[in-house]
Amino acid sequence: MIACVIAIGLVDGCPLPPPGYVKPWQAPIVDLVRPIQIEVMRPFRWVQRALLVTQRWALFQVAERDRYRLELHGRSGGSWSLMFRAGDPEHTAYGSLLLDERVRGAWNPTDRAMRQYGVFSEWFLGHVLAEHPEIDAARLWFERIEIEDGEARSTGKFVMPIVRERGAKPGGRRSGQRSRRQDVHQGGRREQRGEQRGEQCGQQRGEQRGEKRAVERGVERGVERGVERGVERGVERAVERGDQRAVERGDQPGVPRSDHRDVQRGGL
C-alpha cells in the first residue's frame, strides 16, 4: 500500500512545465509524458476534489537561466542613446526611481511582462520626455540575458518594447503593440457585454422554462380535472340510466332490484 502511494506521488509530482511555459526543446518530452501522466492519475482525481488538495509546490526551485534586464533609451536627432540599464553602473539615469522596491514590482518581469507594465510605462516615458526637452522620443524594452557564473551575458535579443513620442497621446499603438490600458479597457467592455448577454440568455431560458413548466402543470391539472369531471358525469349518467330502467320494469327508482323481488315474494 505504501509503495503504491509513493508511486502515485512520483507520477503526480513529475516536474512538467505548465501549458504556456513549455520551451521548444521540452515539447517532445512533455507531449509524450503528459498524456501518460493524465491517464495514470485519472482514477485518483477524486482525492483532490474530496480533500480539496489543489496546491502544488516546486522543491529546490532555482531561477531561470534566461533572464531580462530593463533598458531606457532617448532619441535625439534620429539616433537612440542609452540612458538606463539595470545592473550597469555607467547608465544609471532614473535608477533611484526604477530600482525602488515599490516601483520595481510594476515592471520587473518573469518570463512575461507584468500586468502593470503598460500603465507604468505610459506614465514613466511621459515623465522622461517632460524632464528632457532635447529628446523627441523615449523607449523602454527588455534585453534577454543569460546568467553564467554570476555574470550577465547579453544575447542581443530585445522584447516587450514600448515607445512614446513627444506629442503622442497616451494609450496609442507603440512598436506594433497596444498599451495595457487599452487592453484592460477593452477587456472591461467585453466583460460587460458578456454579462449583459449572459443575463439576457439566462432571462430567456428562465422564461422558456417557466412557460414549459406552466404548460406542463396546466396540462396535468386539466387532465386531472377532466378525469374527475368525467368520473362524476359517468356516475351520474349511470345512476340516471339505472333509474330509467327501473321505472320501465316497474321497480322503484333508487332501490336495488333484489329488494323489489323480496317485496314481491313477501306479498305473495
pLDDT tens for each residue of 179-215: 444 444 444 455 556 666 766 666 667 667 766 776 6
Q: Do the Cβ atoms of 86 and 69 come closer than 8 Å?
A: yes
CA distance 237 to 25: 90
> What pLDDT was estimated at residue 181?
44
- Judged against a pLDDT cut of 80, whether residue 262 lies above it is answered with no
Cell numbers 327501473 correspond to what residue?
246
Residues 70 and 174 in one domain: yes
pLDDT digit string, tens, across residues 88-141: 889 989 988 998 888 888 888 766 777 888 888 999 999 999 999 999 999 999
What is the per-residue pLDDT for 214?
Answer: 66
User: In this structure, are 205 and 171 located in the same domain?
Assistant: no
Q: Which tops the pLDDT comparison, 10 or 168?
A: 10
b or e along 238-253 (b: 16 or more beta carbons within 10 Å of the residue's beta carbon)?
eeeeeeeebeeeebee
Return phi, psi of residue 160, to 5°.
55, 50
* Residue 93: per-residue pLDDT: 92
CB-based contact 181:163 (threshold 8 Å): no
Residue 169 belongs to some domain of the structure: yes
Asked whether residue 184 is assigned to any structural domain, the reply reads no
The torsion angles phi and psi of 89, rounded to 5 degrees, stand at -70, -15
Higher pLDDT, 214 or 144: 144
Residue 56 inside a domain? The answer is no
Residues 161 and 217 in one domain: no
Q: Is the pLDDT of residue 64 over 70?
A: no
Question: Which residues neighbour 233 within 8 Å (Cβ) at sequence distance 6 or greater?
Answer: none
Tell whether the model's pLDDT for residue 82 goes beyond 90: yes
CB atoms within 10 A of CB 120: 19
Question: Based on the domain organization, do 36 and 84 belong to the same domain?
Answer: no
The residue among 149, 178, 207 that closes a domain is 178
Range of the domain at 118: 66-178
How confident is residue 163, by pLDDT bands cut at 50, 70 and 90?
A: very high
Model pLDDT, residue 155? 86
Domain termination residue (choose one: 178, 206, 232): 178
* pLDDT band with cut points at 50, 70 and 90 for residue 246: low
Q: Are residues 76 and 120 in the same domain?
A: yes
Same domain, 41 and 123: no
User: If you write DSSP's letter for every residue of 113-177 in order, what string do you get?
Assistant: --TTHHHHHHHHHHHHHHH-TT-SEEEEEEEEEEEETTEEEEEEEEEEEEEEETTPPTTS-BTTB
In a domain, 42, yes or no: yes
Residue 30 inside a domain? The answer is yes
Judged against a pLDDT cut of 90, whether residue 230 lies above it is answered with: no
Q: Are residues 149 and 236 in the same domain?
A: no
The pLDDT, as a whole number, for residue 175 is 43
For range 140-146, the mean pLDDT: 88
Residue 220 falls inside a structural domain = yes
H or E element, residue 244 = helix 180-249
pLDDT digits (tens, 9 = 90+) for 30-48: 899 989 988 888 888 787 7
* Cα 104 from Cα 158, distance rounded (Å): 19
Dihedral in degrees, nearest 10, Cα atoms 120, 123, 124, 129: 160
Is there a single domain that holds both residue 73 and residue 173?
yes
CA angle (61 as vertex; 55, 63 as ends), nearest 5: 125
**Do 172 and 70 fall into the same domain?**
yes
Domain C-terminal end among 178, 212, 238: 178
One domain, residues 208 and 104: no
Residues 42, 70 within the same domain:
no
The average pLDDT across 16-34 equals 85
Q: Is residue 187 part of a domain?
A: no
Residues 20, 70, single domain; the answer is no
Mean pLDDT of the chain: 75
Q: What angle do CA 227, 230, 231 make, to 5 degrees?
A: 85
- What confidence score (pLDDT) does residue 176 get? 41
Categorize the per-residue pLDDT at 168 as very low, low, confident or very high, splitting at 50, 70 and 90.
confident
**82 is a domain residue:** yes
User: Per the structure, how many domains does the chain have?
Assistant: 3
From the list 163, 160, 177, 58, the residue with the least C-alpha distance to 112 is: 160
Residue from 235, 263, 267, 237 nearest 251 by CA: 263
264 vs 46, residue with greater confidence: 46
pLDDT at 54 over 80: no
The answer, as to whether pTM is greater than 0.95, is no
